Each structure stands twice: as structure tokens, then as C-alpha cells.
Amino acid sequence: MLHPTTTKGQAVEDGLISHWTFDKKNTNINAGEALDQVGNEHPGEIKGRPKIVKGKVNEALKFNGKEDYIVMGDVTEGQDLTYAMWIKVDKFPEAPKVIIWDDNPNGGGDAWLQLNANGTVETQRAGDGFGVFKTKSPIKAEEWTHITYVADGKNDIKTLYLNGSPAGDQGGKITARTGISHVVVAVGHDRNNFIKPWYFDGDMDEVAIYLRALTPQEVKKNYQESMAIDLKGKLAMTWGNIKN
């Protein structure tokens, strides 16, 4: 069952199954919990000690690249889906780092987004039509980048977006993911063990999953919503400093 959300950071609510803001009020490091703002049906279990830092929208989490990650569990199902999040890294990694992982513990259905050593973002899914492709251009180090991956089964196309704009795509059949989901942020991990312990080293904010394929217009709308909130916050801070 899908629930409406009033949380800022995701302008598009239709089909939104989970949204982890990583804001301070929704994240308890000591209790090891990152609350899901869509009905809280998929609270994230925090592993390690990521730090709460200034984010693109309110606060974010900083992962140390060694032991920090979050297990969201069984979230996705069906043929169409969308992953969306903000990331920021101080520098590009020497080897690939996992951004988000969604697996089949029996093999043949692993899906993930990773940041490559050259700064490109790559998506992979083995065995069932997810495909392997990457963005045509890299992200920028020391800057927040909005990443969206859309699997559109109706049109048999997968698309990666950077900052609201298409950045790479691939055609081909998309197989339904029902019964094989296990979502983990910042490392590759199935229900039982690590698959690719490529710990993410950097900041992450506003992780969202939709059980449908967002349109290009909706992807841009989500990006622009976060940008507007960020600008509003900066203007309020500037005005406060002027008054002081």
C-alpha cells in the first residue's frame, strides 16, 4: 500500500514507496535507525557510525567508506521502478563504490548503482534485462549531484539522469523484480552476506524509491524541488546574517 507524504525533497508523490531524508529529526545514529517518511514501512537499519552533516535538503549522512551502510530490506517489486538520491564526494574513488544495491540472494537479479573511478555513474543488473551502462559524463567532485535511475518496462528502456537531465540510456526487456528485493545503501549486500563490499565514501541525501517509471518531466521536477529548498535555506541564512 502506497502512502502520501508531506516531506519536502520529493515533489512527485505518485508511486513513491519509500523516502529516507536522512534529516536529523528522522535519523537516530545511536538507535541505528533511519526512518522512512512514506508511512515508515521500510525503516533503514544503520550499520557502522555514519555522521549527520549538512545536506542538500536539511541534513544528510556521511559514509566513511569502510564500514558504514544502511539496510532498507524488501522494498521494490514489479517491472517498473525509479531510484533517486543526492550524493557528494570529496574526490573520485580509486575503484567502484556502491551507491545503492537491490539484490536477489539466489543470484541473477542483483541491481545496483555505483560510482566509478572516473566519476561516471554506472548501473548494473545481472541476468534479467536491467543492463549495464553508465553516464556519458562524470559528476563533479565536491558538489552535490542528483542521480535518478528509471526502468520503464512499457517502453523497454532504462535511463540514468544527472541533475534532472538524461545522461545515458539502454534499451532491452526489463524483467519484474517481485520477490527478489533487498535494498541496501552504500554497500553491496544481500540477505545473508556481502556481495561487493565497495563501501561508499561520501555524503548521501534524500534517497527515494518509486514503484513506477518517472517521466523525464517528473525527474526534473524532483531535482528542481530540492534546488528550490536549498536556495530558500541559503537565502534565509543570508538574511539572518544580515539582520545580525
pLDDT in tens, 187-205: 999 888 898 899 999 999 9
Quickly list DSSP for 45-68.
Answer: EEES-PEEEE-SSSEEEEEESSS-
- Is 107 among the domain residues? yes
- Tell me the pLDDT band of 237, cut-offs 50, 70 and 90: very low
Answer whether residue 5 is part of any domain: no
Considering the domain boundaries, does residue 143 fall inside one?
Answer: yes
The answer as to whether 4 is a domain residue is no
Q: Give a yes or no: residue 139 inside a domain.
A: yes
* Residue 11 falls inside a structural domain: no
Map grid coordinates 512499457 to a residue.
154
Decide if 36 is inside a domain: yes
**CA dihedral angle for residue 8, residue 14, residue 17, residue 23, rounded to 10 degrees:** 0
Assigned domain for 90 exists: yes
pLDDT digits (tens, 9 = 90+) for 148-163: 999 998 898 999 999 9
| H helices present in the chain, as ranges | 216-243
Tell me if 119 sits within 8 A of 105, measured CB to CB.
Answer: no
Mean pLDDT highest for which of 69-78, 87-96, 229-238?
87-96
Residue 35 or 4, more confident: 35
Answer yes or no: is pLDDT of 89 > 60.
Answer: yes
CATH, residue 134: 2.60.120.200
- Domain of residue 51 covers 16-243
Rounded distance between C-alpha atoms, residue 46 and residue 218, angstroms = 30
Are the beta carbons of 79 and 153 closer than 8 angstroms?
yes
- Residue 44 pairs in a beta bridge with 34
Q: Which three cell numbers stand for residue 159?
A: 535511463
CA–CA separation, 15 and 209 (whole Å): 8
Residue 109 has pLDDT above 70, yes or no: no
Structure letter (DSSP) for residue 72: E
**Which pLDDT score is estimated for 241?**
47
- Residue 36 backbone dihedrals phi, psi, to 5 degrees: -90, 125
**Average pLDDT of 156-175?**
92
Contact, 5 vs 15, CB < 8 A?
no
pTM of the model as a whole: 0.90
Q: State the pLDDT confidence band at 228, using cuts at 50, 70 and 90.
A: confident
Q: Domains in the chain: how many in total? A: 1
Report CA torsion sign: 194, 196, 202, 203: negative
